[in-house]
Amino acid sequence: MSSKSDLDDYYNEICKEMITLKALRDEVTTTGEPRLAGWSQIVKQKEDEIDEMEKELKQKSMGPITKKKLEARLVRCLKAVKILITSKDDISEAMGAFIKEVATGKPRQYPWAQIKKFTSDPKQEIGRGVFGVVYKGTLDGVQVAIKVLNNNQLMDNMEKEFKAEVNAMSKTYHRNLAELYGFCFDPKMKALVYEYMENGSLDQILYKNPSNVPWEKLYQIAIGTAKGLSYLHESCKKRIVHRDIKAVRSH
């Protein structure tokens, strides 16, 4: 696992690359090239994301899971900034779509066959509800949670639920919220690929071994949950009101 100094090194490298990227952005602003308007907008989004990560790096204490998530985000951001620099003078429609996907963290669409490969054989079920079943899987060496929706729902309801979740979660990022990596919308399968929560769901902590959890830890969990909800209600670009908060869904 990376140390605090490793995270600082990633951040400092990003800042160095951003000097070049900002200079290119200023050049584009001066010339006013219409075809690079989308490119410039993505650069601005990267600036905002870097400012947010800087605030996280300044925190006095940071748990191992938070460090791991922040490291992954820093690595993705550094890759995106380098792509934005090298692609500025050669923007094709296909490359533009690729840059937008990588640079903005847009969830990736996966085919049905690839989703099947993500899950182990036999499948390891880690959750179940009216929406469907959640399985544990592996994506590029990283553990993921794959939420497979019930195919027996009415198609209109299925599409409405699917679009709402992908649209909402693709526009959010907070260290106390599970990240949406991608999705599959296929006649054979409708699935969402989420970040895997190593500590399990909150109901396991509260109801299975409640006496083993110190009050200080419960307090930290409550504060973390409140911060995640506050972000959804007040801070994310599109405000989201979660009307079905349950311990089984909290991590």
Instruction: Answer yes or no: is 160 a known binding residue.
Output: no
User: What element of type H or E holds 147?
Assistant: strand 142-149
User: Active site includes 8?
Assistant: no
Buried-exposed string 92-103: b where 16+ CB fall within 10 A, e elsewhere: eeeebeebeebb
Question: CA–CA distance from 135 to each of 44, 191, 197 (Å)?
Answer: 36, 10, 12
What are the start-end ranges of the H helices in 105-149?
Answer: 112-118
Determine whether 83 is exposed, middle or buried from the number of CB atoms within 10 Å of its CB (0-12, 13-18, 19+): middle
Residue 77, judged by CB atoms within 10 A of its CB (0-12, 13-18, 19+), counts as buried
Catalytically annotated residue among 90, 121, 140, 244: 244
Q: Measure the CA–CA gap between 26 and 23, rounded to whole angstroms.
A: 5
Would you name the residues annotated as active-site residues? 244
Which residue ranges make up the annotated binding site for ATP? Answer: 147
Q: Which residues are annotated as a binding site?
A: 147
